[in-house]
Amino acid sequence: MNGFVFLQIISINMKALLKQVIFDQQKLSLKNTIPRKIPKHLIDAPEVLIISGVRRCGKSVLLHQIRNQQKEQDYFLNFDDDRLARFTVDHFQDLYELFIELFGEQMTFYFDEIQNIPGWELFIRRLYDYKCKVFVTGSNANMLSRELGTHLTGRCVSHELYPLSFPEYLQLTGVTVSEPDRHSTSGIAGLTRHFNQYILDGGFPQFVLTRNNDYLKSLYESILYKDVLVRNRLTNEQEMVEMIYYLASNLATLSSYSSLARTIGVKHPETVKNYLGFLENTYLIFQISKFDFSVRKQMANARKTYFIDLALVQRIGFGFSENSGRLLENLVFIELRRRGNEVFYHSGKGECDFLLRDGNKVVQAIQVCHTLSDNNHKRELAGLLEAMELHNLNEGLILTTNQEEQMTVSDKVIHVELVWKWLLDSPAG
């Protein structure tokens, strides 16, 4: 068969398949969803808007919500569809022509999970150059770095989406919170109960609605196999599984590349470094460094690892029944990330869980503990005060599950707040 004719047949077959997928996906609904917040200026900006985040955290819902607010809504495709396994960057032109054929000419495009198509940024750059508005989502942090570096630098704005915040969780589960609820005996008891359930349920919307453990198992396997092993062409599955299990079982504790390499039986720490990078790109884990004005020292120190979601990490790891403090610390970290903070930890004679940096200056020190008691009061306070003194901070914050007070130590003011109240004050919620 003539090669040109063969290519024409492939193109025709792809167009027929695309037409089927387009019309099938047009019927997708937004039942059992809540509005997800995103700054309006990002939607209105002329640049390409890239929404990134872990799988199934709500990016598709947010994209559909944005679509529903726009005059032009038809040019939509979700690439996380098994029927599009043969779609390549060369087929974008077929897709473009088909959109025009089906819906007429429009200037607004919506592409979901576009990272599945290598070279996607070339087509998006062309659309941008033709003054089109493009919204894309993806489950890989590299979308904001390596894959955009050459073709979309200065032409895109980004928004990271996380699983449900505590206010969003309450909204999805039908709980309304009034100002009296935050202060009355019955209101505090109810919100404390909902907060404890939030720690168990996490923030993946579908799991919150169903509490189906198979859903979390499927989600974890999708991240592990599709986003980590296949995407990065890794063959030693066992090493990766063992490392994830170890990190999940030792949540929020210090580890180095060398110590992890010894633990999982890997010869070279550089291999562990690469593995961690692959996991961070999927948003499954986050690592923070000890604060130091020297970047070289920051990189050399051990790091603390946190996971994207509490329900997920409790099913991946082992031994959380006696580790509520670590879960609480993880929850606070994700909220800090959601609020856009740059986060480090402090370690000296004492330890402080979180330092927040703005530019070259540390602006806040935060300590997290389940309960302040006679057994840990001195230790928790010492680490926080040491960090405050080092960075000339006059006020510090301790987040707990059952205490509120304000104390003054020397000339330093320490605010002790309930975690769930702090979460309710979230700008993202």
How confident is the model at residue 427, as a pLDDT? Answer: 60
How confident is the model at residue 378, as a pLDDT? Answer: 84
CB atoms within 10 A of CB 275: 23
Where b means 16+ CB within 10 Å and e means fewer, 203-233 reads bbbebbeeeeeebbeebbebbbeebbbebee
Q: How confident is the model at residue 356 (pLDDT cuts 50, 70, 90)?
A: very high
Inform me whether the pLDDT recorded for 386 exceeds 60: yes
* Model pLDDT for residues 177-213, shown as the tens digit of each residue: 999 889 899 999 999 999 999 999 999 999 999 999 9
- Give the three-class secondary structure for 288: strand
Q: How confident is the model at residue 11 (pLDDT cuts 50, 70, 90)?
A: low
How confident is the model at residue 111, as a pLDDT? Answer: 97
How confident is the model at residue 97, as a pLDDT? Answer: 95
Count of alpha carbons within 13 Å of 397, Cβ hemisphere only?
A: 14
User: Structure pTM?
Assistant: 0.92
* Model pLDDT for residues 37-82, shown as the tens digit of each residue: 999 999 999 999 999 999 999 999 999 999 999 999 999 999 999 9
Q: Which two tokens stand for residue 228?
A: 């980590």
Cβ atoms of residues 249 and 318 within 8 Å: yes
* Sequence-ordered list of residues with C-beta below 8 angstroms from that of 280, at least 6 positions apart, any chain: 141, 286, 287
How confident is the model at residue 7, as a pLDDT? Answer: 42
Label the pairing between strands 108-112 and 133-138. Answer: parallel
How confident is the model at residue 5, as a pLDDT? Answer: 41
Q: Which two tokens stand for residue 286?
A: 């986050």
Percentage of the chain beyond pLDDT 70 is: 93
Instruction: Give me the residue label for tokens 């003539």.
Output: 2
Q: Which two tokens stand for residue 295?
A: 């970047």
CB atoms within 10 A of CB 416: 18
How confident is the model at residue 147, as a pLDDT? Answer: 59
- What are the strands, taking DSSP E only, across 349-394? 351-358, 361-368
Mean pLDDT confidence for 379-394: 94
| Of residues 312, 213, 234, 340, the one with CA closest to residue 278 | 234
Q: How confident is the model at residue 148 (pLDDT cuts 50, 70, 90)?
A: low
Q: How confident is the model at residue 145 (pLDDT cuts 50, 70, 90)?
A: low
* Model pLDDT for residues 305-334, shown as the tens digit of each residue: 999 999 999 999 886 555 788 999 999 999
| Of residues 130, 95, 161, the one with CA closest to residue 308 | 161
How confident is the model at residue 131, as a pLDDT? Answer: 96
How confident is the model at residue 150, as a pLDDT? Answer: 67
* Model pLDDT for residues 268-311, shown as the tens digit of each residue: 999 999 999 999 999 999 999 999 877 776 777 899 999 999 99
The H-assigned helical ranges of 130-265 are 166-172, 185-201, 205-210, 213-221, 237-249, 257-264
Mean pLDDT confidence for 1-11: 46
Mean pLDDT confidence for 202-228: 95
The whole-chain average pLDDT of the chain stands at: 90
Inform me whether the pLDDT recorded for 1 exceeds 90: no
How confident is the model at residue 318, as a pLDDT? Answer: 80
- Give the three-class secondary structure for 106: coil
Question: Which phi and psi (to 5°) does residue 224 adopt?
Answer: -60, -50
Question: Which phi and psi (to 5°) does residue 119 adopt?
Answer: 85, 10
* Model pLDDT for residues 164-180, shown as the tens digit of each residue: 999 999 999 999 999 98
Instruction: Give me the residue label for tokens 């569809």.
Output: 81
* Sequence-ordered list of residues with C-beta below 8 angstroms from that of 125, at least 6 positions apart, any chain: 151, 152, 155
Mean pLDDT confidence for 332-353: 96
